Structure 1
Amino acid sequence: MLSRRRLLLTGSLALVFTPAAAFAQSQAEWSQNYEAVSRSRVQRTSTPMLSPEALAATDEMIQRYRDIAARGGWQQVRGAERLRVGSKGAEVVGLRQRLIITGDLDPTAGESPIYDSYVEAGVRRFQARHGLSATGAMNPVTVAAMNVPADVRMRQLEINLVRLRTYSGNLGSRFVTVNIPAALVETVEGGVVHTRHAAGVGKIDRQSPLLNSKVVEINFNPFWTVPASIIRKDLIPKMQKEPNYLTENKIRIFNGAGQELNPSQVNWFSDEATRYRFRQDSGGELNSMGFVRINIPNPHGVYMHDTPSKGIFGDDFRFVSSGCVRLQNVRDYIEWLLKDTPGWSREQIDATFKAGSRTDARLSVPVNIYWVYITAWATPDGLVQFRDDIYNKDGLGASIPVASRVPNEPDQEMFLQN
């Protein structure tokens, strides 16, 4: 029986193709094994990025990519930037061949010049493995990722195998991994992933640091004290252009004696503002930390937090902060963190959010946390993941394109969010 999705798909194609082309399309699709499509989907794995299983799988994947590179790698994908379901041409044939080499499309998919649902599923799988929005349609960013040479991907895996070995010991029965280039957070318990969270991490010029620490405390409805670096780089230039910015965003100014100043009392065309303390009122709708700050002692002064700008989590490129880490679905995260702390059920957490009052919750047992830099890893199911070397720590230079994924700053994003 045809699914509703397939019925709608074939119905829409009939509007685009001539009858002969439509017949060829159906022949191409029906001749393929439907299990091939299910195998091309990316399934959520419970294997942590930092685990002996991921280490072993990455080691095995290196050999596979060495073999691919030894056979000449893959051909460059050309003229495919606008391809999608219903497209037809030699470019589709080349795309099929590229997807087959890395296991994103079953070898039985053939050489049809038609971009059918099998090619779409293969593109989705490829996009998901590279941290791109899995639309199933081609675009310049997907083409750029496909055209990274096989020997470069092989080298990327080799470099990251060394990093994974660093974390192959006992990380704790419960721990958190923040993978910076993947802009992804995992909570791990009993050797399996409990939750995953999209994250916003440091910009290229304000990088999130690598660190090992512990989560010790949750601050509900926190104030935000503007760091000195942001006062100098962002706040002063902003006030020169928008004198009402502080008032509109509920940011107060205090002098050394703790007295509150009016923004009009400050000379914004000098460095006078660097001598004062700037504090944003609590409240998730405007406060740069949203409703929650998660404290992790470290020498860099960074932490994790909620954000009022939830739209960033739908972006492929989430390198948007001044070094701290913003979290999607923060309530699920802190519920997991506080599960062993008496008095902090999900109901209590939700009630504290709703109350809007400043409240602190100290974890009964601190949870290990690791901020790491892993741009390539594999899992025992045979899936290999790649991410951009956003901070150029792999040392592979321009071989892996990054600039094409840097968007304009989102309009809704406050310039001073940490």
Structure 2
Amino acid sequence: MTRFSFAAMVGFAASSLVVLPALAQTPPPAVAPTLPGSGMVQPIPALRPPVPIPSLSAAQEAWANDWLKTGAAQGLMARQKRSGPLRGQALVDAMLDRARALSTGRVDTADFLDIWALRPEKFDPRPGLAKAVAEDSLDQWASRLTPPWAGYETLRKGLERYEAIRDQGGWQTLSASSSPDAVRKRIALEDPSVSPDEKLTDIIQRAQRRYGLNPTGNLDARTLAALNVGVDDRIAAIMANMERWRWMPRSLPVNRVQVNIAAAVLTLFEGDQPVTSMRAVTGSPDNQTPMLSSSIHSIVVNPPWNVPMSIARRELFPKGRATLIRQGYKIVKTPEGGERIVQPAGPNSALGRLKFDFNNPFAVYLHDTPSRGKFSSYDRLASHGCIRLEKPVALAEQMVAASPDLNGQIQNLIDEGKTQRVSLPQDVAVYLLYWTAFANGDGVVSFRNDPYGWDKLLAQKIEASSSRADPTAAPAPASIASKD
């Protein structure tokens, strides 16, 4: 693995927006607070009135109506909505709504699952729109609304490709008995690099890599299943991932750790460029890993495992006390008079030799593991929600490289056998993300399975939110709008 210094690391934690339900009763009148020790009443600051939007010219109204027709191209709806031209305040309201959707997401955070803990930053589009109207620079204003990340733009190109495939009738279902020409033609719809004289096994291998499958070159059951996913479902996955890009902050620490939960891969970034990656094991569908951002502040060397009560009740206590003690667990009394299970530090600890701590409400973290076999598998969603690492020692060494006292000492600390917490020279930003679709510069999209079912759910929420914003909208296709 490439070694680099985290001396310039900037810790980052995305802000969380908590939406409280409105109270049914009439709120009490505001009471001005008293300044301490003065007996004087402190005036309540007046609410700042909303920034006024100048009247749009006829040319600006025409531009705005054309711009509002681009929602499907930005993944804000499955198909373009049927609606007539807007005028006046209705047009301004629609522009503000579209600006918010492009900048921070179509789905309101109040409609997020709790486990989608990555929250977009607050954004008020009114000042920017008012300035753009006054300066007649609506084009430039609109171009700055979408996420500045290449990952978003390449997905937008990919969405255009898949919408064209859909509009041309989609693709035929393949079977194990399909002809080589049919297989070649099917894969070429998604992969324009397919050539007539290329070996079919090479074409299939390239498709398998795009789907995250073992690249055997054989048209096995899993490859057939991936090829037979409907084009509308692929579009839904792209829409969902574009929405997640809109939740991301407009700037990221240039040095950071990112985990793709769906692909079970950890990537380390230096100077905003990926420098190394490793396989990981992420949460199973029954024990989902949350989406979130935080900062790794310390590493626990030789950590004991304080077994969460949910796991203890479900998996360990049913084995019986004698079995647990024989397997090396300790049963400890709690202050409340109950019992909990602790697995002491050591080579057989479920946390291995290292645990990377970062603040979050889900009690998840990155950690080592004594069970190495899963890293060679293409199905690596098997943890209780935490992230197991293929190369934890190398990752830890990179994080402490800026410290003269710790650089190169991680393995020595492990060998001491003591449980100890090592504070990092600088906090390391960490992002747990859920990417099931990502594209290259040509818009060729790679897909991963949607193990948690979040893509279809999010696509439904996007459609529902879009329909609420535009009551004249056409209904979504059944494959997008229908529930599982």
3-state DSSP of counterpart to 1:124? helix
Q: Which aligned pairs between 1:7-22 and structure 2 lie closer than 5 A?
A: none
Distance 1:171 1:121 in 2: 37
Alpha-carbon distance in structure 1 between the residues aligned to 2:193 and 2:322 = 55
2:289 matched residue in structure 1: 208
2:295 & 2:164 partners in 1: Cα distance?
41
2:338 to 275, 281, 292: 275
Contact kept in structure 1, 2:157 and 2:442, CA below 8 Å: no
Say whether 1:252 aligns with 2:315: no
Cα 1:288–1:253 shift into 2, 3 Å:
same
Residue type at the aligned position of 2:352 = G
Give the letter aligned to residue 119 of structure 1: L
1:69/1:151 contact within 8 Å kept: yes
The match for 2:465 is none
Counterpart code for 1:369 = V
**From 371, 375, 379, the counterpart of 1:317:** 379
Counterpart mapping for 1:188-227 below 5 A: 188-227=269-308
Distance 2:287 2:194 in 1: 42
Residue identity in the other structure for 2:376: G
CA distance in 2, matches of 1:355, 1:98: 57
Q: Distance in 1 between matches of 2:399 and 2:220?
A: 39
In structure 2, relative to structure 1, the CA distance for the partners of 1:380 and 1:332 (3 Å cut) is farther
Percentage of pairs with the same residue = 33
Cα separation, 2, equivalents of 1:322 and 1:68:
39
How many pairs were matched up? 315
Q: Which amino acid aligns with 1:126?
A: A
- Deviation of 1:247 after TM superposition, in Å, equals 2.9
User: How far off its partner does 1:360 sit?
Assistant: 2.0
Is the partner of 1:163 in helix, strand or coil?
helix
C-alpha distance in 1 between matches for 2:202 and 2:412: 42
2:212/2:447 contact within 8 Å kept: yes
C-alpha contact (below 8 Å) 1:104/1:126 kept by paired residues: no
1:99 is aligned, of 187, 190, 195, to: 187
The separation in 1 between residues aligned to 2:325 and 2:162, in whole angstroms, is 56
- Match status 1:158 vs 2:255: no
Q: Distance in 2 between matches of 1:167 and 1:326?
A: 24
Q: Give the CA deviation at 1:238.
A: 2.4
The CA distance in 1 between the partners of 2:328 and 2:290, in whole Å, is 29
- CA drift at 1:381: 5.7
Amino acid of the structure 1 residue aligned with 2:307? V
Residue 356 of structure 1 deviates from its aligned partner by: 2.8
Q: Secondary structure at the match of 2:196?
A: helix
Distance across 1 between alignment mates of 2:345 and 2:339: 19
Q: In 1, distance between residues paired with 2:162 and 2:281?
A: 30
Question: Which among 330, 347, 365 is matched to residue 392 of structure 2?
Answer: 330
| Candidates 181, 185, 198, aligned match of 2:262 | 181
Whichever residue aligns with residue 79 of structure 1, its letter is A
User: Which runs of structure 2 are paired with 1:65-144 in the superposition (5 Å)?
Assistant: 65-79=162-176, 91-103=179-191, 106-109=194-197, 118-144=199-225
Task: With the length of structure 1 as denominator, give the TM-score of the two structures.
Answer: 0.70
Q: 2:157 aligns with which of 60, 66, 70?
A: 60
1:385 aligns with 2:385: no
Equivalent residues of 2:260, 2:435 under 8 A apart:
yes
> Which residue does the alignment assign to 1:350?
411
User: Is 1:299 aligned to residue 361 of structure 2?
Assistant: yes
SS at 2:409's partner residue? helix
Q: Which amino acid aligns with 1:395?
A: K
Equivalent pair of 1:105/1:119 in contact (CA under 8 Å): no
1:236 aligns with 2:317: yes
Q: Which residue of 2 aligns with 1:370?
A: 431
- Residue 290 (structure 1) aligned with residue 387 (structure 2): no
SS in 2 for 1:178: strand
